[in-house]
Amino acid sequence: MSGENAAVHVPIMPQKVAHYLDLRRGGDFLDSTFGGGGHSRYFLENFPDIRLFAVDRDPEAKGRAAALKQLFGERFHFFCTTFSQIGALSLPFLRGIFFDFGVSSLQLDDPSRGFSFRYHTKLDMRMDPTRGIPAREFLETASRWQLEEAIRDCGEERRWRKIVDLILENRGSGALQYADSFAALIAENLPAKFYKKIHPATQTFQGLRIAINGELEEIRGALPRAFDLLAAGGRLVALSFHSLEDRIVKRFFNEKSGKTVDRHEKYSDRPRVATILTKRPEVPDSGEIFTNHRCRSAKLRALEKF
């Protein structure tokens, strides 16, 4: 996901998210990806009968959460942790849980976070900079296999072989240390004609970010825990931004609704414990895409537990 606005993170499809969570019922809800607090604020302002719990792994979200706490007091509670850990929080059974995957514009557009190749900044990309290793260290030390997994599997970059070779050849040269120098290395070595609409480093940067943050494992770990936390009639609503995220959500929803998880599975005897509310994923309308370009690839899926 890319952000055009440096100061805020504009919430995507907030009305549709609120509709699928059915916030009008009131009660306890969880925003698993607080970010800039855009969705949380929208929920709290428009639905006075809800109490909202919120989670984000980024320590910088704490300040923004404190500002909402000032406004909404006991109606709002924030936890700085990963969403795969929500089972360990003492939360009540919930009427709805929301996920808005990926990074926020606030993270992407802050040069000091080292996410974007638009800046001359140390390549970092960690959503929680207090844990794990920065992307530059990963590039310098990961095995060929780990690099392939990041760039081929998480980045879905067709020219992954060439890029992995480039990384291995350029270790120790300084080129892997900075976001702009790493992007330039890729652009200089891969013909621009293959990348008509995007910068040649776009997919590689996406893959690196997903790998550094263990994003797909986080989603795989979080969905079953979230489902367990839902009360009967509770709803799970997820916004995905690329096919890898969306596939995990879709498979999980199919599994819970007793369907085959994908076209390779011929038959399912899993019990049906939920119903899918979005036969096709909801997407932003053209007006929203016009005003907030970064939402263009968003897909919303919703599930209701029996």
Cα(13)–Cα(56) distance, rounded to whole angstroms? 20
Q: Which helix (H) or strand (E) holds 185?
A: helix 179-189
For every residue of 109-137, DSSP letters joined together read T-GGG---TTS-SB----SSTTSS--HHH
Binding status of residue 36 toward ligand SAM by CB under 6 A: yes
Question: Which strands make up the sheet holding 230-240, listed edge to edge?
Answer: 76-80, 50-56, 27-31, 94-100, 230-240, 299-305, 274-276
Residue 242 in tokens:
């690329």
Task: Give the nearer residue to ligand SAM in terms of CB position, either 127 or 201.
Answer: 127
Ramachandran angles phi, psi of 90, nearest 5°: -85, 85
Binding mask 115-134 for ligand SAM (x = CB under 6 A): ------------x-------
Cα atoms in the Cβ-side hemisphere of radius 13 Å centred on 132: 20
Binding status of residue 234 toward ligand SAM by CB under 6 A: no
Binding mask 89-108 for ligand SAM (x = CB under 6 A): -----------x-xxx----
Angle at 202 between CA 196 and CA 58, to 5 degrees: 155
Task: Give the nearer residue to ligand SAM in terms of CB position, either 22 or 58.
Answer: 58
Task: Give the nearer residue to ligand SAM in terms of CB position, either 61 or 274.
Answer: 61
Cβ 174 to ligand SAM, closest distance in Å? 29
Binding status of residue 294 toward ligand SAM by CB under 6 A: no
How many residues line the site for ligand SAM (CB under 6 A)? 21
Task: Give the nearer residue to ligand SAM in terms of CB position, either 9 or 305.
Answer: 9
Site residues (CB under 6 A) for ligand SAM, limited to 37-66:
37-39, 55-58, 61
Q: Which stretch binds ligand SAM (CB under 6 A): 29-37, 133-141, 254-262, 284-292?
A: 29-37
Binding mask 188-227 for ligand SAM (x = CB under 6 A): ------------------------------x---------
b/e per residue, 178-212, with b = 16+ CB within 10 A?
A: bbebbbebbeeebeeeebeeeebbbbbbbbbbbbb
Q: Are strands 274-276 and 94-100 parallel, antiparallel or unpaired?
A: unpaired
Cβ 104 to ligand SAM, closest distance in Å? 4
Cα(299)–Cα(272) distance, rounded to whole angstroms? 24
Which parts of this chain interact with ligand SAM (CB under 6 A)? 9, 11, 33, 35-39, 55-58, 61, 82-83, 100, 102-104, 127, 218
